[in-house]
Amino acid sequence: MEVSELNKYGICDGISEIILTSGIENPNAAPIGVIRKDNRVFIRLYRGSTTYENVKLEKIFAANVTCDPVLFVKSSFSNLENENFRYYPLNTTKIPLLKNSASSVIFRCGEIKHTEQAMTAEIIPMDAVANDYRPRAINRGLTAVIEAAVHATRYELTGDNKFLDLIDQCMETTYKCGGQREKDAAEILLNEIYENKKRVDGGKSTE
Amino acid sequence: MEVSELNKYGICDGISEIILTSGIENPNAAPIGVIRKDNRVFIRLYRGSTTYENVKLEKIFAANVTCDPVLFVKSSFSNLENENFRYYPLNTTKIPLLKNSASSVIFRCGEIKHTEQAMTAEIIPMDAVANDYRPRAINRGLTAVIEAAVHATRYELTGDNKFLDLIDQCMETTYKCGGQREKDAAEILLNEIYENKKRVDGGKSTE
């Protein structure tokens, strides 16, 4: 499969926010940016994540294109329930995909570079499926809740309150512009942050 | 056509960022948020715009769903070239549509309320077309350039430099995450702002 064919499956030039599924035995999902530039495609994965371990070991995974904010938020903080996965047979193995994606592309790793914190892999598209999909107007509430999830994972790592302010700004846009699905995602996100803040504040009081 | 059918054409709950085409004699395009809530749909149009005048007069228009950032940015500042329009025959008239939309929905106005600055209309879907469309992964650079266009129109109205700072933040995301089409849109936008800033600064120096 040629890189140029990725256009058909929604992975275009620039950084595509997708949900990466990996783990042939124990399927795992996590939101990742896929970088496509000059007809080559890359991902960067940070050490310590399940995705990092899976891809390092198996060197194969799927990039799932979806606009479902609940899947993005849930997979930012924990794994998705088993019912969200299905399997795609490839040679003698089977790759986990997201069941309700608009499309899914199977990639294998080409050259991998390791740094202290992360690995960067050039990735090669092998096969793809397009599911039943519909046009969708741009919704600022959708992107805002996904941005908020990015800030929330940084808050989890650092405990820095500036991320809470950024999340507040995103939430304002989500509640103003989002539909019910965006608001459901926001609620899951805010609950996760609340639990995390309790841990951070608890940690501080015992210092 | 039922409001619930709008899901198929990409106009879902919340605020959908679409390009509104209006003007049976002289077609015009402008980006607008379509508000869908509790199975009703609304638009708010500000006085002084061509869209306001067209919709007030003809009470019919099309909402075009697209992810093309260049069309959003161009139609924020000026009209689109004639080659971007096509016509949809409806009863004895013909409604301008965006030629390359993912989908287009024809709306007529129901109840209209006027305030000093704007009119709010409940809008009723009459007919719709879905064109050839593809899935597209979320791209933060795309939304950022559309946000920047919103800030830029506010800068045009007010000359307030805070909007320039917000545009800078958006541009950073667009150049980092966007593809070529997003970068093309950013260039058009920055050029428009530059021209406008010259006018604002020129205006100030003669005060």
Number of domain units in chain A: 2
Rounded to 5 degrees, what are φ and ψ at B13? -50, 145
- Search chain A and give the residue with CA nearest B105: A137
CA distance A193 to chain B (A): 22
- Search chain A and give the residue with CA nearest B64: A137
Tell me if B43 is assigned to some domain: yes
Look at residues B130, B156, B172 and tell me which one is the last residue of a structural domain.
B130
A124 and A159 housed in the same domain: no
Tell me if B187 is assigned to some domain: yes
Look at residues A102, A130, A158 and tell me which one is the last residue of a structural domain.
A130
CA distance B25 to chain A (A): 27
B38 and B118 housed in the same domain: yes
A55 and A116 housed in the same domain: yes
A123 and A180 housed in the same domain: no
| pTM of this structure | 0.91
| DSSP letter assigned to residue A67 | -
CB contact under 8 A, B12 and A36: no
A162 and A113 housed in the same domain: no
A58 and A30 housed in the same domain: yes
Tell me if B135 is assigned to some domain: no
CA–CA dist A18, A6 (Å, integer): 13
Q: Of B34, B154, B27, nearest to B94 (Cα)?
A: B27
Q: Which domain holds residue A169?
A: 140-200
User: In this predicted model, what pLDDT tens digit does every residue of A119-161 receive, in sequence order?
Assistant: 999 999 999 999 877 899 999 999 999 999 988 988 888 888 9
* Res A207 pLDDT > 50: no
Tell me if A205 is assigned to some domain: no
* pLDDT tens series, chain B, 207 aa: 999 999 999 999 999 999 999 999 899 999 999 999 999 999 999 998 999 999 999 999 999 999 999 999 999 988 899 999 999 998 888 999 999 899 999 999 999 999 999 999 999 999 999 987 789 999 999 999 999 998 898 888 888 899 999 999 999 999 999 999 999 999 999 998 888 778 777 765 544
CATH (domain of A150): 1.20.58.290
Interface pTM, i.e. ipTM: 0.91
CATH (domain of B8): 2.30.110.10
CB contact under 8 A, B137 and A34: yes
Tell me if B206 is assigned to some domain: no
| B125 touches B41 (CB < 8 A) | yes
| B97 touches B3 (CB < 8 A) | no
* Residue A180 at interface with chain B, using a CB cutoff of 8 Å: yes
Q: Mapping DSSP to helix (H, G, I), strand (E, B) and coil, where does residue A113 land?
A: strand
* Residue A16 at interface with chain B, using a CB cutoff of 8 Å: yes
Q: Of A50, A18, A44, A12, nearest to A31 (Cα)?
A: A18
Residue A32 CA, distance from chain mean position? 4
A43 and A69 housed in the same domain: yes
Tell me if A135 is assigned to some domain: no
Please name the residues in contact with B72: beta carbons below 8 A apart, sequence gap of 6 or more: B17, B19, B31, B66, B145, B146, B149, B185
